[in-house]
Structure 1
């Protein structure tokens, strides 16, 4: 009740303040406080009741045991005689069907729940857990005390330097601090066996204080010359290493190292000497190198790397000037060599079962950060940076060569070799002013992916993937900002930088595919990186061709590039390792071969002759690579069959385009001859595919059923479209005179119709198409007869080609006669042969002619052509009535038609 009353008071006060002392505000606030207080009270009571219930409720196992034991105990109690007063036990009552069992008499044991795997903690959770354990386990007061002591001593020295509050001479104060630290060091050493945690913490703190004291005496108070201070620091840092190694104390080494790296930052006045700072850090890194010679402590190495390059980068951003290059470059080189050797020592001192695990952060981070800092020092001078990169590549190649005979160094040697090749390759675009960041990150990403897969570290793998993407975006930004282009094709910074991304992307997708081991995400990512690299290859190549190739040679350049890319991908498809990447590798060459067909059609539009000059060389080059591409795709049935069909179409189109471009320059010949001769290769190809398909079989003879029928269908579709267009053309036969059926356009239409007839006559045709053979051929015949008739009227009768033919009595009479003849033929043939469908088609056609006479031709009865239409139709109908007066029955018997055959 006390807490409820307190909340009422608080609510009333807040309500009064909100309403500026109004009664309604006070009452309302008190009511809200009462509600809130009661809610909290009830919540606490509910928690208490739940706690009591959980304590009083037995576990399921105990309840089950008790439930089963209860029945036995009751039975024994009923059967056992009483030791005091013997009596006959009454029989137990018979339970009825609807009587509920006593509560708790029988409790079925609860089914065991399936165990759940504990969730894997995230990296942040693990880090938080480690920090928490460090503060809560072991000698917590000493750990916290040492941290506070570091901060206190640093603050004391700085405050004393700034305010001068202590009147004790500065030298004496520094000496007292050093004596106190030495006393702590002695105490920690004496307690190293009895109280190890306490002793190590005190030793680390003491040495850290001594390091800060020496640095303060040298830098702040000028109590020590540079040589003496440097010597003392060397002794102290060496002491840290000796104590840590002697006692196998990683924590001591870390504490001392943190203190050592923090000292110049904590006591800095902002006007320090960078040479002294970097010399001091060099001594610390030398100590790390010495410790790495005896102990395999990765945390120590990583801490030194981060501190050294972090502070160095910060100083470079804030203070570096070109005049300081000579005094800064040696330290950068020295630190690069330090962290080149330290991973080597780390692997040498690691246990045998851990020697295949290398430190990826140092192995790849060291050249990456060093090269970026070197570029900043050189103001991104391409040639100077290229020399630096080449020197680094030689160094990596040298250490890889030196370690070649050490089996334990195999993974390390491979990593150095990869870095040597990557840096040597990067030398070329750097010399040509390439984008440093994009290229480095692309190669670095490929290296991280390789290392992560080898060591099964997902973080390194996905970091490598992210670097691949970052490299591409960096290159795009560089292109948009700087623009421009090199003077040499291929050997320019834009193309080589993009080529680095392409090679890194292809290498990464291959690694992910080979090491996926059932991981779906890795397989999907390999396909994504494959598409990423392919897009960069396409974009970079397109830019090269557009910039350096003249317009007259664009066809040759693109055809050669498409053929080369398709061949390279088909070669890679032979070594595919996963279904996803394998499908991408076998179908991408097919897509490029299809693109070649579009390129050939575009060449026709630009009047490019494919059989002349550079175009001819490109065609032959593409032919050789295309053959090899098909050889590589023979194991992929559907992809190989599709590629073979596109390969045949390429030669067909090349022949057609070559003829069309050549005839286009002959002004004395009409376009109709050009159309006939240009599409002759398609007709010849269909004839060969229909009659002698083995001539087209190599090198895909084993999958002929997969490509032969689609090839013929595609040829028929194209020829059908051409035929439909040709039906509506006037058909000029220049330089020859027009002769019906023997002019170029109608010859083309007849050949196309013949191709369709040959296809419909194939015995292997599906039953559905075989049943529709007659109607299809009849429709083709009617379309050809109509077109030929109108074209003859135009050419021989002098009627303009177009809508004027609809008003021409000659054209209408000619159509009436021709359609009537066709109807007569279908009617009589269907009747005599018992083919009801043909008879019906003839009857319908005759009905159409009759409707045409009534609706159209009757307007032409004033001239001879209109009269001729009616007479011709009447005569033909009379012939039909004589030859086939009755329709055929459904039976095919000849007698049923009423006429002898």
Structure 2
């Protein structure tokens, strides 16, 4: 039931708050209200049950077989004690009775009771459902049982009433002065702080949360009074915020409360931002933040509160970055740089103190956010302050490296800080390495990084350490990025083939990667991540090999025919070299190489087609066709030679030709044909449709000569074809689809037919035997969703062509498009609703109900602009009444066949 309250609150909040945030807040309030009410009822029931048990245990008569020194019902019967033994239970009048009467009473008691052993307690019953299970069950019952349309109608009525209340408030009927509202909120927050202070001993967690939340409310109230309503001046606002921060600090220290310290720090960092008028002094701002960070440093000396340290770091550098973006200019460098250096040194010391204050067993755990975030943030800010001048930045990096070397050297004798010392040493090496590209050119930097990476890989294997090894692998990637920067942003014209900076730099990258592959192979790294690194470095080497010669071909080969021949020669030589490498170097798999090398063949094939198109040559005639045939035959022979990873190789081979023929068709369309965009997209989608048809009906053609892996190949190629179909469908959905030279007809136009073909492929593919059973169970839902999206696209396309609405981002907001979508969606929903109700199919009925709910949601979020007048309010109330009537005429069918057609008891 509390879920219902949450939904009611969400609807009311959405209208009162005029936005999504109001709906979220309303849902939270309603949900908590309902949940609190339910918990209160459960608590009262439990209290009454405990009282009944206590009453029953007190009034139950005790069985006494005679005086005994202890009361126990499991002891065996004992002989009558001596008269002087104490009797704990009998009343005074029983003690005065004669012994014969007592014996007679004992004879009338059930004799077996004292001697019978107590029967074991029954095993506890199964545990009750958890809160999540109860919540899930409640949601399911609410949306699947009972009369759902009536419930929706009631919610819409609530929305209409909420809109009426808002209308009354806007009309001045419920208006309250702003100062009175702010004062009431502040008084309530102060009362919350006082009450939390009084509860600090008995209910510590509750008291701390209440104090922090109340002071947070005070901070937000002051902010609203200053920024939103202009009730407080800037000076008073800043002073009040300082008072609140100080109060939070005192409360945190006195009560040893980290939560209050964090809240006080947040308020302290937010105070100058809240009270800022946009014309403040940055020196005062950073001085104030320096004082706050010195306080964090002092706390770090006493307590290992990591959250406080990270929060201070994020706030300091976040605000500093925002100020730099908005207000910094080079004239302020002298007054800004000292604060950057100060905060860099502070947050170098803070993690050090954190390690010192931590227990000895936890000193191996470092704060990575501060250890690595501080130098990175300071380096980026330093670059912005220096306007990214290379040489000053190189000097700054060397100074930072010297600082890290000095502090690492200072703790060299502390065995309990080995990890901290090594981390600072790594940062020193990183900054020293970073100084190289800042002081030297990008092409030289790439070569240095590639050779340095190979050296680090060798050093890592030599010392048996992973960090240098993987740093070397990462440095290979950095070298490639440096080469790209050197090539893209700097001109390297040279009229000498093969003796130019680009070619030589690329070959040095190849040398570095090949050296890394050799090191991984030499030391027997054949499993896990090391195997992936070895293969990745090999692919990296092949990539830069191809880049080097591609640059030569594109730069120095002018004739397109010779360029295409050069590409084929390059691929042939590369394949031979890879085959020799797989023979000479152990643990390298030719299948893997070919699987990753086939995308290069894809680039070559597309290059052949593009070169033919640029030269005005028809790609279906002459040497382009010969080049394509040679590539296809070579690919088939290569796939036959593969002994492992055959599925991946065949899959990539098919994707290669899919891309080649798609590109070729796109380039073969002559602009003089005046074909519309719809026909062009349909023509380009033909290779994808053919591949999809082969997946569904031509499994043997897909596998070629690998008949033993036909199922696996069909599965892999089918997955890729599905992805290609999805891409085609997404492009068709977002296209206007001009059907020139034919007139536009709804459904009977190229793009609509293409979308229907995509829908047919999805329907056939999801029923295939290779598809997992779980996927097949989702087939109706997926097809329904696809049909809904396709119908929406068809509707918008018809609005564009028949209604003359421009096809752009604003078209769905036009009145004609909104009307058309409402009509089409409602028609789909009504058909599904009625058919589901008449046929007794609950899922179909629920689909219709969901569609109608979507239309209602569209009205609430898109068409609610008229709720500011009584007519709009009346329309929502009328819609709620209409849903109630529909619930009476077409309720949900029963889940299973039953004789009693009455509604579920959970309907309310």
- TM-score over 0.5 (shorter chain): no
**TM class by shorter-chain length?**
0.3 to 0.5
Q: TM-score, normalised by structure 2?
A: 0.37
Q: Tell me which structure has the larger Cα radius of gyration.
A: 1
Higher relative contact order (CA 8 A, sep 6+): 2
Alignment TM-score, normalising by the size of structure 1: 0.38
